[in-house]
Amino acid sequence: MASIETDYLIIGAGASGLAFADTLLDELPDAHITIVDRHGKPGGHWNDAYSFVSLHQPSAFYGVNSLPLGANRKDAVGTNQGYYELASGPEVSGYFNTVMNQKLLPSGRVAYHPMSDWQSEAGPAPGGHITSILSGARTAVTVRRKVVNAAYVSPSVPSTHTPKFTVGEGVRLVPPNALVQLWQARGDRPTQFVIVGAGKTAMDVGVWLLGCGASADAIQWVMPRDSWLINRATTQPGMEFFKHNIGGQAEQMDALSKATSVQDLFLRLEAAQQMFRIYPDQTPTMFHYATMSQGEVAQLRQITRVIRMGHLRAIEPTQMVLAQGTVPVAHGTLFIDCTASAVEPRPMQPIFQGGQIVLQLVRAPLPTFSAALTAYVEAHYPDDAVKNNLCQTVPFPNGVEGYPASVAVSMANQFKWSQDKALRQWVRNSRLDGFGKLIAEVDPADTEKLAILARFKQCAMAAMGNMPRLMGAAARQPG
Ligand SMILES: Cc1cc2nc3c(=O)[nH]c(=O)nc-3n(C[C@H](O)[C@H](O)[C@H](O)COP(=O)(O)OP(=O)(O)OC[C@H]3O[C@@H](n4cnc5c(N)ncnc54)[C@H](O)[C@@H]3O)c2cc1C
């Protein structure tokens, strides 16, 4: 068996692994990095995505720290009109290819093993072996410093997951990836579409179907839970959106400081135009930080045939079997599987664990900012206790009740970073941070913006004071 040595072995060449590698390369000039991934190209799950996928958030603060994504343009047409561009899936994949081929590999300090599986081996020092998926050849790896697990919170996507419901003989069930090929179906075009699932992928499919000419009457939507959605206006990185982004954060803090329960919190956020729900007569219980524009929400409201009967258990040729009953299936129905959970709940663990780093969020909901900041902390701080204190794992909410804790830990981390001069400076200069630079660039004579900032600070203090009460209320909420 061949053998190699490296300082850091990164499992996964997805967004998290590459964002970590990019910052580590800049911050630890003597480190050698080896990246292993089962996929044949960098970009992780973006390689398996449906072709009409895009980021939920502006490209401006996604990707790796050293290389901008997109051209910071605003969309002139469509449901994102007037807002900063959202990279499409192919753009994201192409971007990560560029990161690998123009930044990481030319450094001479990075080795990349695509189409390869990593297996850790127990022992006193971190290590394991790489197995080529194509040849089966194994390479033993001695890891001088750490193994970085950049796959622990990897999302599940429709084209590679296995649905949890059964599918009867002759039922047409496809992942969203197959929709763009329907033009080839000729005489066999679907008469009805059933979107199965209630997350961002399902919403993308609804918007795509309507945008491509499907009649809203021909669409049914199996929605076990309704979801709260972030208003994309609040995530715009430009100074001209100051009222929406920083002003929006002040609104969020104000709501967090006054809410008496989690439901009350979301209603306040909705009233302050921070959050949307698609169907105003429903009370959402899901919140995964999905982000949408007002235009997309308006489109989705055209779909009125929503099935709220719990999770789908089986699709039979003539009926759907749901947790709370059955629904007939019309002849010629195409089912679209949007049930993969992009945010599989996994037990949280410390990020720094001796010879291992397990990448998780240090600020929700930003995995690439989190990975880059973790690399900075790895490079500059002395031991795991200090590093874990700066990088407390932020829980990802599965439902509305998880939101206060997710915000509270993000805020606690942010506070600690702000107390450390070097880290504060790194965050401010990081393109992945989104808003820190904006705040730093406020003109001292701009009284309107200064007033927004002052309100944000005041509300943030009050919000921290109310967090224990809100988290207590969330814990008492039936699950
Ligand atoms: C449709 C969609 C849209 C999204 N939009 C946004 C957005 O706008 N903004 C945002 O911040 N986040 C967004 N996300 C969240 C998204 O999860 C992250 O942005 C990011 O792409 C996740 O990357 P990752 O590296 O953590 O995981 P992955 O992309 O899944 O990468 C992990 C990699 O590890 C590899 N791997 C795992 N185990 C092994 C092993 N043993 N050996 C070798 N290789 C292994 C896998 O092959 C995979 O390539 C979106 C997610 C989805 C699904």
Model pLDDT for residues 194-212, shown as the tens digit of each residue: 999 999 999 999 999 999 9
Instruction: Please confirm whether the linkage preceding 365 is cis (ω < 30° from 0).
Output: yes
According to the model, what pLDDT value does residue 60 have? 96
Is the separation of the CB atoms in 286 and 202 below 8 Å?
no
- Of the pLDDT bands very low, low, confident and very high (cuts 50, 70, 90), residue 343 is confident
Is the separation of the CB atoms in 29 and 7 below 8 Å?
no
Report the nearest-CA residue for atom 17 of ligand 1: 155
Check residues 94 and 160 and name the one with the higher pLDDT. Answer: 94
Q: What is the model's pTM?
A: 0.97
Model pLDDT for residues 3-17, shown as the tens digit of each residue: 999 999 999 999 999
According to the model, what pLDDT value does residue 372 have? 98
According to the model, what pLDDT value does residue 477 have? 67
According to the model, what pLDDT value does residue 101 have? 98
Model pLDDT for residues 372-419, shown as the tens digit of each residue: 999 999 999 999 999 999 999 999 998 999 999 999 999 999 999 999
> Within 6 Å (CB) of ligand 1, which residues are found?
11-17, 36-39, 44-45, 49, 53, 55-57, 62, 117-118, 150-151, 153-155, 157, 201, 342, 366-367
The 3-state DSSP composition of the chain as helix, strand, coil percent (nearest 5) reads 40, 20, 40
Work out the average pLDDT over 315-328. Answer: 98
For ligand 1, the distance from its centroid to the CA atom of residue 453, given in whole angstroms, is 34
For ligand 1, the distance from its centroid to the CA atom of residue 236, given in whole angstroms, is 23
Beta carbons within 10 angstroms of residue 468's beta carbon: 11
The share of the chain scoring above pLDDT 70, in percent, equals 99
Pocket of ligand 1, candidates 41, 88, 95, 154: which has the most ligand atoms within 8 Å of its Cβ, to mutate? 154
Rounded Cα–Cα distance for residues 99 and 86 (Å)? 18
Model pLDDT for residues 200-250, shown as the tens digit of each residue: 999 999 999 999 999 999 999 999 999 999 999 999 999 999 999 999 999
Is the separation of the CB atoms in 194 and 291 below 8 Å?
no
- Of the pLDDT bands very low, low, confident and very high (cuts 50, 70, 90), residue 342 is confident
> What is the DSSP track for 105-155?
GGGTSEEEE-SEEEEE--SSS-EEEEEETTT--EEEEEEEEEEEE--TTPP
Q: Is the pLDDT of residue 150 over 80?
A: yes
Burial status of residue 94 (CB atoms within 10 A of its CB: 0-12, 13-18, 19 or more)? middle
According to the model, what pLDDT value does residue 478 have? 57
Structural domains for the chain: 2-155+344-401+408-413 (3.50.50.60)
